[in-house]
């Protein structure tokens, strides 16, 4: 992870903490073409872990979390990320493995950020 990917990880953590009350404990970001791919560990709050312990809690929590995270970015445009990357946020794909507390978010931008930031290294 280069310094730009590391800084993007910090922006994701801060955004989630501000809008969800808690950010992931660990984020590893990789820029790939127009995508910022974030692998995230330590996403769940203690209450979410408790909900996941119920029989139907895992699927309910996974569904709610993925839709709520996407909705959070629709309602709170990630301006800080756009300013940092110098391009526009287009879309977000999200998934989480509740049992492992491991999530993936793929941020899609309107420019090739991999090319843009590999040149700066």
Q: Could you tell me the domains of the chain?
A: 3-118 (3.30.980)
| pTM for the structure as a whole | 0.92
DSSP lists the bridge partners of residue 92 as: 107
What tokens does 119 get? 């040149």
Residue 119 pLDDT > 90, yes or no?
Answer: no
Per-residue pLDDT tens over the stretch 13-72 = 999 999 988 889 999 999 999 999 999 999 999 999 999 998 789 999 999 999 999 999
Which residue from 90, 95, 97 is spatially nearest to 73, judged by alpha carbons? 90
Which residue from 104, 111, 108, 81 is spatially nearest to 28, judged by alpha carbons? 104
The predicted pLDDT at position 121 comes to: 56
The predicted pLDDT at position 23 comes to: 86
Which residues have C-beta within 8 Å of that of residue 2, sequence separation ≥ 6?
117, 118, 121
The predicted pLDDT at position 21 comes to: 85
The predicted pLDDT at position 19 comes to: 92
Sheet order of strands, 26-32 included: 26-32, 35-41, 102-109, 89-97
Per-residue pLDDT tens over the stretch 78-117 = 999 999 999 999 999 999 999 999 999 999 999 999 999 9
């Amino acid at each position: 992870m280069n310094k730009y990917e590391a800084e993007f990880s910090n922006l994701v953590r801060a955004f989630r903490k501000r809008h969800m009350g808690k950010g992931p404990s660990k984020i590893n970001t990789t820029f790939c073409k127009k995508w910022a791919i974030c692998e995230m560990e330590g996403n769940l709050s203690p209450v979410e872990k408790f909900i996941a312990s119920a029989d139907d809690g895992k699927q309910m929590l996974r569904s709610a979390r993925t839709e709520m995270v996407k909705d959070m970015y629709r309602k709170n445009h990630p301006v800080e990320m756009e300013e940092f990357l110098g391009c526009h946020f287009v879309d977000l794909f999200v998934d989480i493995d509740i049992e492992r507390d491991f999530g993936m978010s793929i941020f899609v931008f309107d420019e090739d950020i991999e090319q843009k930031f590999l040149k700066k290294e």
